[in-house]
Structure 1
Amino acid sequence: MGTSPKVDGRAPIHVFASSKSWIEGNATLQLQQVAGLPGVRAVAAMPDLHPGKYGPVGCAVLADRIHPQLVGSDIGCGMGLFELDIPARKLRLDQLADRLHALDQPWDGDINSVMADAGLHATTFDASLGSIGGGNHFCELQAIEEILEPEIAAQAGLDRDRAYVLVHSGSRGLGFSILERILLKGQAALDPASDGGGAYMDVHDHAVQWAKLNRRIIAERAAVAARADLRPVNDLAHNMVERAHSAGGDVMALHRKGAAASDRGLVPVPGSRGTLSYLVEPLPAMRTEALASLAHGAGRKYDRGSMHGRVRVKKSDVARLERNPYGGIVVCGDRGLLAEEAPEAYKNIERVIADLVEFGLARVVATFRPLVTFKKAQSNVAAGGGKREKCWKEDRR
Structure 2
Amino acid sequence: MSLNELKRIDANRLQLTNPYGIDVTLFANQEVPIESVAVDELQSMLQLQETVEAVYRACPERFSVEPTIASVALTPDFHKARGIPVGTILETRGFLVPQAIGNDINCGMRLHRTNLDADQVKACFDALETACRSIFFEAGRRIPMAWEHREALLLSGIEGLFDTIDQSFDEGLWSYFHRTDRHETLSRIDRRGCLPARRVDGLEDMLGKRDRVHRDSQIGSIGGGNHFVEFQKVERILDGQIAHAWGLVPGMVTVMVHTGSVSVGYASGNFYRDQVRQRHPDSVRKPENGIHILPVGPEDGQAETVFWDAMHNAANFAYANRMFLALMAWASLEKCFGETQCELLYDAPHNMIWKEPSQGHESYIHRKGACPARGYDAMVDTPFAYYGEPVLVPGSMGASSYVLAGNGLPGTNQSAAHGAGRAISRGASMKGFDREFERFLEEFRVVTPVDFRRQDIRQRSDIMEKKLADLRQEAPFAYKGIGPVIETIQDSGMARPVAELKPLMTVKG
1:357 maps to 2:389:
no
Aligned 8 A contact 1:54 1:72 in 2 = no
Give structure 1 regions of 4+ aligned residues with deviation exceeding 6 angstroms.
none
Shift in alpha-carbon separation, 1:353–1:342, aligned structure 2, 3 A: same
**1:200: which partner in 2?**
307
* Offset at residue 144 of structure 1 (A): 0.3
Shift in alpha-carbon separation, 1:5–1:50, aligned structure 2, 3 A: closer
DSSP-derived class of the 1:23 partner = coil
Aligned 8 A contact 1:192 1:243 in 2 = no
2-side partners of 1:205 and 1:288: how far apart? 26
**2:368: which partner in 1?**
257
1:30 maps to 2:41:
yes
- 1:158 is aligned, of 240, 243, 248, to 248
1:246 maps to 2:358:
yes
**TM-score normalised per structure 1:** 0.86
DSSP-derived class of the 2:427 partner = helix
Greater displacement, 289-298 / 332-341:
332-341
Greater displacement, 167-176 / 226-235:
226-235
- 2:441 is aligned, of 299, 302, 322, to 322
2-side partners of 1:9 and 1:105: how far apart? 53
1:189 maps to 2:305:
no
Shift in alpha-carbon separation, 1:311–1:98, aligned structure 2, 3 A: farther
**1:299: which partner in 2?**
421
1:15 maps to 2:37:
no
Aligned 8 A contact 1:50 1:56 in 2 = yes
- 2:131 is aligned, of 95, 99, 120, to 99
DSSP-derived class of the 2:330 partner = helix
* Offset at residue 7 of structure 1 (A): 4.5
- 1:109 is aligned, of 133, 143, 150, to 143
**TM-score normalised per structure 2:** 0.68
Shift in alpha-carbon separation, 1:323–1:368, aligned structure 2, 3 A: farther
Aligned 8 A contact 1:13 1:35 in 2 = no
1-side partners of 2:447 and 2:145: how far apart? 26
2-side partners of 1:104 and 1:184: how far apart? 34
* Offset at residue 277 of structure 1 (A): 0.6
2-side partners of 1:318 and 1:360: how far apart? 35
* Offset at residue 182 of structure 1 (A): 3.4
Structure with larger Rg: 2
For 2:303, give the aligned amino acid: G
Aligned length in residues: 367
1-side partners of 2:318 and 2:478: how far apart? 25
**1:141: which partner in 2?**
231
Greater displacement, 37-46 / 300-309:
37-46
1:44 maps to 2:73:
yes
1-side partners of 2:296 and 2:138: how far apart? 39
Aligned 8 A contact 1:312 1:339 in 2 = no
Shift in alpha-carbon separation, 1:10–1:209, aligned structure 2, 3 A: farther
For 2:258, give the aligned amino acid: H
Shift in alpha-carbon separation, 1:216–1:29, aligned structure 2, 3 A: same
* Offset at residue 208 of structure 1 (A): 1.4
CA shift digits 1:269-321 (9 cap, x unpaired): 0101121111111123xx211111100000001111111113449xxx97644
1:175 maps to 2:265:
yes
For 1:362, give the aligned amino acid: A
DSSP-derived class of the 1:176 partner = helix
Shift in alpha-carbon separation, 1:78–1:162, aligned structure 2, 3 A: same
Long gaps (5+) in structure 1: 377-397
Shift in alpha-carbon separation, 1:183–1:367, aligned structure 2, 3 A: same
Shift in alpha-carbon separation, 1:159–1:41, aligned structure 2, 3 A: same
Long gaps (5+) in structure 2: 1-7, 53-67, 153-157, 162-199, 207-215, 278-290, 335-339, 380-388, 451-466
DSSP-derived class of the 2:303 partner = helix
Greater displacement, 118-127 / 100-109:
118-127
How large is the RMSD of aligned CA atoms in angstroms?
2.3
* Offset at residue 10 of structure 1 (A): 4.5
* Offset at residue 244 of structure 1 (A): 1.8
- 1:268 is aligned, of 392, 402, 408, to 392
1:119 maps to 2:166:
no
Percent identity among equivalent residues?
A: 31
Aligned 8 A contact 1:76 1:211 in 2 = yes
